[in-house]
Amino acid sequence: MAGWLLKVSSVATAVVASSGFYLYNNKQLDPNDISLVRFGRAAATTAVISYDYMTSLKHVEYGSEEYWALKSQVHRRSAERLRNLCCANRGTFIKVGQHLGALDYLLPEEYTSTLKVLHSRAPQSTMEEIQQVIREDLGKELSDLFISFNEKPQGAASLAQVHKAVLHDGRTVAVKVQHPKVQTQSSKDIVVMEVLLNMVHWLFPDFAFMWLVEEAKRNMPVELDFLNEGRNAEKVAAMLAHFPWLKVPKIHWDLSTRRILTMDFAEGGQVNDRDYMRRHSINVNEISQNLGKMYSEMIFVHGFVHCDPHPGNVLVRRCPNTKKTEIVLLDHGLYQILLPDFRLNYCRLWQSLIKGDLNGIERYSRRLGAGDLYPLFACVLTARSWTSVNAGIGNTPVTHSEDVEIRSNAALYLPQISDLLNRVPRQMLLLLKTNDLLRGIETTLQTRAASSSFINMSRCCTRAVARHKRSTAQSRARRLQITMSESLTLWQISLYELFLWVKGSTLGGWVGSLLSCLHYTH
């Protein structure tokens, strides 16, 4: 088998080399435009990674210290090869690599830490390419549309890049322009990934990551339609209009197409930039709490979820007029619409997880497709140990040792995790990615142990379940009873929140000291 992989690697390398020689003599062609070159790179990388895993661990005793140290080295080498492949093939490969880099508690740390850099290693299109896309889609030259247009992009992502520009009426806008070759390459790239992942699964049966290709097939066409992104932005802005601290840039439809999206320009620092927050006197706890409110509302109440909250898409700032802290939500290309039954089962599962209701955890995990793997599902969903899940994650603080335990178990249970991800509904996959990205932000802000996130979840779950019960109630008396029960529960949650605030305040410290003194004197 190793010999066969070596042959595949040699053939793939020969394909890339011969294609490179041909392209050297035909300078008008870009190697990235040739499907054979892109496939050759991917096949060669896959073969080398597979060969490394098959041979490096062959003569080492499983479970020994040497085995785990060597396996970590293989993980690191393989992750670097995968990162280099994504940077070379760009486009869809970078998008999938970014997705993998966000799966902190599903993949070994060597992979996630190595692939995370892809958020800052996205390709840039040339100014000539940007002008050509604008010319083709809007039918005008840059000078006809804008007073000024910054040639250096504000940011470059896997599918597009954003330029700052000024309209003729003086308004400053952000112009998101799609990389010109992404549309034609994406469908071919997904086929390449599907073939190679099937090959890896045949060699390593425990490796079952076909869900990744299925997600790319489903989501890529949606993300490449910028008009859909504009509609999503307007929908979420209207849906969450009751949050005055949330800002979604206004879309300029007359300057937007499937490949171009023009919106109001938004200043701010990335949500994980603690130095920026310190310089601008922005309270990290307030930001973390508001982020939790926003996503709890999206997931549990509305079932319309922004699924790409990596730090570059969530900005924080002080409003120049009101001086209040605001969150700016960007990049609305990828949203998940949760089916009502799925959303309600998900609500009830989180209520059970917060309280430590093991019967509820099993019942609703099974309803969400986890089957007998429900304990693993609970741990993956919360990134907490089974011990913490048993006690109720709302009652047990996060510790560093628990995080280390979770990471170690992720490597040990990779086959079972792969099986679980192939079982659960497709809607769950983007929610898991969203959870991991939000947890990463909380970890950076050092607010992950805060109880506010569970309080927000509890409120939204209570409202969502009550609304569902009211919609199915047969009488006015029953609806009134549900509303009163909802109000009582929300009041209890607010009372508990007040208790936590007093406990953590200066007043709470004084009261605690006074009670200690009284106890000591008696």
* Calpha distance 340→303 (Å, rounded): 8
CB 199 within 8 A of CB 46: yes
CB 168 within 8 A of CB 161: no
254 is catalytic: no
Supply the angle between the helices 452-472 and 340-355 in degrees, to the nearest 10.
140
As beta bridge partners, residue 337 has: 304
Q: Which of 308, 372, 403, 419 is catalytic?
A: 308
* Calpha distance 99→434 (Å, rounded): 10
The upper half-sphere exposure of residue 136, i.e. CA atoms within 13 Å in the direction of its Cβ, equals: 12
Instruction: Dump the DSSP string for 84-144.
Output: HHHHHH-THHHHHHHHHHT-TTTS-HHHHHHHGGGGS------HHHHHHHHHHHHSS-HHH
CA quadruple 386, 406, 343, 464: dihedral sign: positive
Query: Which run of H or of E encompasses 25?
Result: none
Biggest distance spanned by C-alpha atoms of the chain: 94
* Calpha distance 483→500 (Å, rounded): 26
Non-local CB neighbours of 76 within 8 Å, separated by 6+ positions: 110, 114
**CA quadruple 427, 428, 432, 434: dihedral, nearest 10:** 30
Q: Can you read off the two tokens belonging to residue 135?
A: 């010319």
Instruction: Dump the DSSP string for 314-326.
Output: EEEEE-TTT--EE
* Catalytic residue set: 308
